[in-house]
Structure 1
Amino acid sequence: MYWISELHRKLVENNVKQVFFLSREGQPLKKMFDSYCTHSGQHIQSRYLEVSRRATLLPSLQSLEKEKFTTLFRQYRSMSLFEFLSSIGLEEFRTELVVLLGISVKELEQRHEDFPESKLFQNLIENSKFKQIFDEQRTLRRSVFWRYLSSLAEDDVPEELVVVDVGWKGTIQDNLYALLCNEAASTVKRVTGYYIGLVAEGAAGPMNTKHGLLFSTNNGRSPRYHIFNENRALFEIVLAADHGSAASYAIDNDGTATAVHDEFHEKEMLENLVFPVQRHIFEHFNRMLSAPPPSLNQVAKTHARLVFQPTRNEVYWFSSVFHVENFGVFERSFFTSMSSKPSISARLKFLFTVLRRNGRGLLGFWPWKKLDERVGRPIANLYGLIRYLQK
């Protein structure tokens, strides 16, 4: 409620008439936003734009001679050729490329520790047939995406495309900016993003601005940053959509451009564990519409209880869900709890390792939970208190 009210206030202040909620987390956010608009009496046209890092990457890229794949390689270095092709949406050409490169299927799927520096990657980008495929598909998919966006906006795509998403780096926004603002057929001159939270600016710039309305690192960390940043995976899981991720775009038989979905791997888990929680959130949200929005401090206090003092049922619920990665590396992320308690020596060893390395890469999706399992509740609670008191 706090975030939706802030989003609505910002959009009204900036005279935004049309806003695009990005899939998939944007689906439940849009539903709450539309309810808020109806109750407030200040309507803003909201649209649901089906996108993903994977679907928007290839049409956003430059020609192969100029392209460095920064958006992909800044986050993922260890990958296979198949994962690279899948990330840029060219996995359908894998059989042809295997023959052209003279490699086996096993080599196609073998991960390289530093793929962009591998000989296989160099051979790929120097291959004339791959260059042809890359440029043809890049141009085609840029054109199809523009038709999809134009149709969604009822041929009224604004000069400033305002997007809303869950956040973290705003990579999809960067792709949209590169795709639309450098395209001759596009009328878009600027992209502005509003997010739950931002932990990095990505490729933000004067014409590609980003705003984290709940927490942000823009101009330093925002108030209560450490509370809201504690378990970002929780936002992604709870804000699930009822469809698979957008993989690409295609033209239907009737000439309409639509999003093509990946297989919906999470469907059963979401129906059993997440959508019941969503329905509870929607009901509670609608009840709160008649009351003034809560303050940031109220929200922070409530969220701190959830991430630093969760109930046994809340921890069990989080341990039962999973997240599917459809970009870079194609894996499921599980949040399961440890099956047995570690020994005292193992606990001390883990704690010393965390302190020596400053926790980097060791505490996972939910640091409090990891400390609780690997070291013990007193240390986890001490960590939570420190984080709560940090500005």
Structure 2
Amino acid sequence: MNTTIRNIKNNPKVKVVLTDLFDTLIHRNVHPLYVFKIWAKLLIRELGLNLDIDTLYKIRMDVQNTLAKDLKTVKDEIPYNQVVQELYARLKNTGLLGEISFEKFMSYSLEADYRSEASVQFMNDDLIGGLQVLHEEGYKIFIISDFHLPKSVIQRLLQWHKVDHLFNDIFMSCDFEKSKETGTLYPTVMQHIGVHGEECSMMGDNMRSDIQQARKQNIKTFYLKHANHKFRNRKNLFGSVESDFIRSCRDIEKNCKRSDHPFSEYILHFYFFTERLYSEARQKEIKNLFFLAREGLYLKQLFDTYQHLNGFEETDYIRTHYFKASRHSAKQVSLRPIAEEPFMPVKKNYDHRSTQQFLSDFNLKEFEILAIAEEIGVDKDKVIENFSASDVLKKLRTNETFKIRYEQHRQEQKNAFDAYLKSFGVDFDKEGMVVVDVGWGGTMQEGIHDYMGGQVAVTGYYIGLREIYNIQERTKRFGLNFSVYPEKGYSDHILQANGQLYEQLLAAPHGSTLGYSKNPDMPTIEYHEPNEKKVFDEFIAPIQEFMDDQFILLNNKLSSVVYDQDMAQKYLTDLALRLGLFTNKKKLKFIQLISQGFYQNIGSNKVGIKYDAGQLSMSKKQLLKQFLWSPEKTFRYLVKVKPHLYNKKLEWLGWTVRSTYYYIKANKWFKRKFFSKDLIS
């Protein structure tokens, strides 16, 4: 039995046990002041404040210090409500709170304080065990603490630790505007309980507050030195937040590397994208997010998980929707009358197609395609370069059969898509539409915007943007992990590589959307390529299931780490370098296997990830020159070398690729050291 508990039991006069809380019953694995930074992190995220963590932390510290000076009292005697009122007034005065009411700010501040404390606390099990014995023997036990949080928060923390049943009541200095430090709280507590000092014992770790002031009230005292905990608190003043952040991410990376799920490390990319999307949505007060098929299905699942883990009030949750669309279907619903429709391909390199492929876009049956081809006198299977400018298309424009079926198809798609949009119950005219997808240019976003007549703002959030389109005021788009806007930097060049792996790992268990139907129970027309379905079921689904667990684990690890997005970006960039250049045999085999099922549903619907030297947009001499000066700009080519060597049975040459990692790092250091003005690109 704990010595302190034994001494209390050996004193027949003692009927009531008073105990300090922090550093007595509850300890933290961080410095006490660090908890305020976690509070700032949570409040900024949930209220969408345009503030950095350190600034909000310093404002709160200054509020407490100023109030204590003005009121001529100690900080822990200031009522919590008064601190939050002053904090709210300062933020409101600087225009940082928008239309947020004081009631909401107070509620969210309390929740942030609770969660920040809960994320770093652990119990003194030995002492708690002793209190359990006293509780069972009929002693009355009370918490008496000098602290800035009110009783309501402390009750929740005790419930979370599952020890709330041990205590008859809780007395917090900020609730009574009296403290142990000044000796004014003890008489109030004894009066409230209805006992004299001789009937009480007090245990705590602070010699002045818990021992000396209690003795003045004739209370039997027990001093708990807890030197190791106090040493830990002092030690936690030192160290690096970035080191804590890297350690948390590395733990997840190691889990993924040791698992049977190749490239599951990508969950780190998806996690920070989700976090950034959530913060953006909060800052811009977005009420509805539309995750576009098919990569959006898994992104929506991760966002819902993140919001469930971190959101404060369910009534204030951002609504998420899964929107089935594709480049193809977006093109279908935005078709114009045949005289006005340019019939441009969804991507420039998909304008080489046959008449059969072109007519299939309009859901024509095989016999209809054959009849139209015969009417205009062409071989339906012959591939035509630059189809959108061909004589065949000119003939189709004047063919009555095609004109009738085209207009019928156009109207059917329009009506079906109208019904599909209405099914979401969102007033798009009022709040616009915000779409979320993997990237890379925003074709579907533009298609939806065109369909809505160009009058409704359609904003896009993507993992990355790597193509430049004609972005308008109503079609703004943002790459949250990498982007070509406002300019492509070192990190963007690295992260944009291996786009096909992003898409594969975000694959969905259903087919690509070809168009829309009138059936409200099955509003989309889909096609799931068999090889792609097999790859998803056998490979991708298990990886996603594993990544789900790692996502939650990473969230829990980072909940008490006050990092910034610069740290995250730096880590993601290095992770992408390592994943791309240190690819092991297991991952290379995986790339080969999933290549058999990669299906984009664009143009001729080819299956397979193809690595082709013809994709180079420059000569080998130019490529070598670029590699030597800016190797990050060639990274998208470097990541394809190892899979190519593996397919050619030359994987033993992989060391040449691995060595480029060190050159890229050294090159960056060299340019930062000697070309710090950054005038040469």
TM superposition score normalised by structure 1 = 0.84
Displacement after TM superposition at 1:81 (Å): 1.2
Residues 1:377 and 2:654 are matched in the alignment: yes
Look up the match of 2:338.
64
Q: Identify which of 520, 541, 546 aligns with 1:275.
A: 541
Q: Identify which of 493, 498, 502 aligns with 1:231.
A: 498
Task: Report the residue type matching 1:74 in the other structure.
Answer: K
Q: Identify which of 13, 17, 27 aligns with 2:283.
A: 13
Matches within 5 A, 1:125-136: 125-136=397-408
Cα distance in 1 for residues equivalent to 2:525 and 2:549: 31
Displacement after TM superposition at 1:219 (Å): 1.7
Closer/same/farther in 2, CA of residues 383 and 109 from structure 1, 3 Å limit:
farther
Closer/same/farther in 2, CA of residues 208 and 385 from structure 1, 3 Å limit:
farther
Task: Report the residue type matching 1:221 in the other structure.
Answer: K
Task: Report 1 or 2 for greater relative contact order, CA contacts < 8 Å, sequence distance ≥ 6.
Answer: 1
Look up the match of 1:262.
527
Look up the match of 1:343.
none
The question of whether the paired residues in 2 share the 8 Å contact of 1:226 and 1:387 is answered with no
Residues 1:323 and 2:323 are matched in the alignment: no
Cα distance in 2 for residues equivalent to 1:358 and 1:289: 40
Closer/same/farther in 2, CA of residues 181 and 12 from structure 1, 3 Å limit:
farther
Q: Deviations over 1:248-306 (max 9, x none)?
A: 11122xx5561122134222221111111111111100111121476111111112111
156-165 or 374-383, which deviates more: 374-383
Task: Report the residue type matching 1:67 in the other structure.
Answer: E
The question of whether the paired residues in 2 share the 8 Å contact of 1:368 and 1:384 is answered with no
SS at match of 1:196: strand
Closer/same/farther in 2, CA of residues 271 and 256 from structure 1, 3 Å limit:
closer
The question of whether the paired residues in 1 share the 8 Å contact of 2:439 and 2:463 is answered with yes
Cα distance in 2 for residues equivalent to 1:17 and 1:223: 34
Q: Identify which of 296, 299, 304 aligns with 1:29.
A: 299
Closer/same/farther in 2, CA of residues 150 and 207 from structure 1, 3 Å limit:
same
Look up the match of 1:185.
none
Look up the match of 2:425.
154
Cα distance in 1 for residues equivalent to 2:482 and 2:359: 34
Closer/same/farther in 2, CA of residues 370 and 101 from structure 1, 3 Å limit:
same
Q: Identify which of 542, 545, 551 aligns with 1:285.
A: 551
Closer/same/farther in 2, CA of residues 205 and 94 from structure 1, 3 Å limit:
farther
Look up the match of 2:172.
none
Residues 1:314 and 2:584 are matched in the alignment: no
Cα distance in 1 for residues equivalent to 2:517 and 2:277: 32
The question of whether the paired residues in 2 share the 8 Å contact of 1:191 and 1:207 is answered with yes
Q: Deviations over 1:218-265 (max 9, x none)?
A: 22114411211221100000001111111211122xx55611221342
258-267 or 100-109, which deviates more: 100-109
Cα distance in 1 for residues equivalent to 2:310 and 2:641: 38
Cα distance in 2 for residues equivalent to 1:179 and 1:65: 17
The question of whether the paired residues in 1 share the 8 Å contact of 2:516 and 2:524 is answered with yes
Look up the match of 1:117.
389
91-100 or 166-175, which deviates more: 91-100
Closer/same/farther in 2, CA of residues 58 and 189 from structure 1, 3 Å limit:
same
134-143 or 290-299, which deviates more: 290-299
Matches within 5 A, 1:41-52: 41=311, 43-52=317-326
Closer/same/farther in 2, CA of residues 367 and 103 from structure 1, 3 Å limit:
farther
The question of whether the paired residues in 2 share the 8 Å contact of 1:174 and 1:202 is answered with no
Larger radius of gyration: 2
Displacement after TM superposition at 1:204 (Å): 2.2
Cα distance in 2 for residues equivalent to 1:11 and 1:24: 21
Identity among equivalent pairs (%): 24
SS at match of 2:523: strand
Q: Identify which of 445, 450, 453 aligns with 1:181.
A: 453
Look up the match of 1:300.
573
Q: Deviations over 1:186-228 (max 9, x none)?
A: xx61100000011113342111111110111122114411211
Matches within 5 A, 1:243-262: 243-252=510-519, 258-262=523-527
The question of whether the paired residues in 2 share the 8 Å contact of 1:21 and 1:165 is answered with yes
Root-mean-square deviation (Å):
3.1
The question of whether the paired residues in 2 share the 8 Å contact of 1:364 and 1:370 is answered with no
TM superposition score normalised by structure 2 = 0.50
Where do 5+ consecutive residues of structure 2 fail to align? Answer: 1-270, 625-632, 669-680
Look up the match of 1:340.
none
More helix by share: 2
Look up the match of 1:344.
none
Task: Report the residue type matching 1:189 in the other structure.
Answer: V
Q: Identify which of 166, 169, 172 aligns with 2:441.
A: 169
Look up the match of 1:200.
467
Displacement after TM superposition at 1:357 (Å): 7.1
The question of whether the paired residues in 1 share the 8 Å contact of 2:500 and 2:609 is answered with no
The question of whether the paired residues in 1 share the 8 Å contact of 2:416 and 2:517 is answered with yes
Displacement after TM superposition at 1:99 (Å): 2.0
Task: Report the residue type matching 1:7 in the other structure.
Answer: L
Task: Report the residue type matching 2:286 in the other structure.
Answer: V
More strand by share: 1
Cα distance in 2 for residues equivalent to 1:122 and 1:386: 54
Residues 1:99 and 2:368 are matched in the alignment: no
Look up the match of 1:53.
327
Closer/same/farther in 2, CA of residues 23 and 54 from structure 1, 3 Å limit:
same
99-108 or 262-271, which deviates more: 99-108
Look up the match of 1:333.
608
The question of whether the paired residues in 1 share the 8 Å contact of 2:436 and 2:461 is answered with yes
The question of whether the paired residues in 2 share the 8 Å contact of 1:164 and 1:194 is answered with yes
SS at match of 1:142: helix
Q: Identify which of 413, 424, 438 aligns with 1:141.
A: 413
Cα distance in 2 for residues equivalent to 1:4 and 1:98: 48
The question of whether the paired residues in 1 share the 8 Å contact of 2:462 and 2:479 is answered with yes
Matches within 5 A, 1:80-95: 80-86=354-360, 89-95=361-367
Cα distance in 1 for residues equivalent to 2:297 and 2:599: 17
Displacement after TM superposition at 1:102 (Å): 1.9
Task: Report the residue type matching 1:15 in the other structure.
Answer: E
The question of whether the paired residues in 2 share the 8 Å contact of 1:197 and 1:216 is answered with yes
Cα distance in 2 for residues equivalent to 1:386 and 1:69: 46
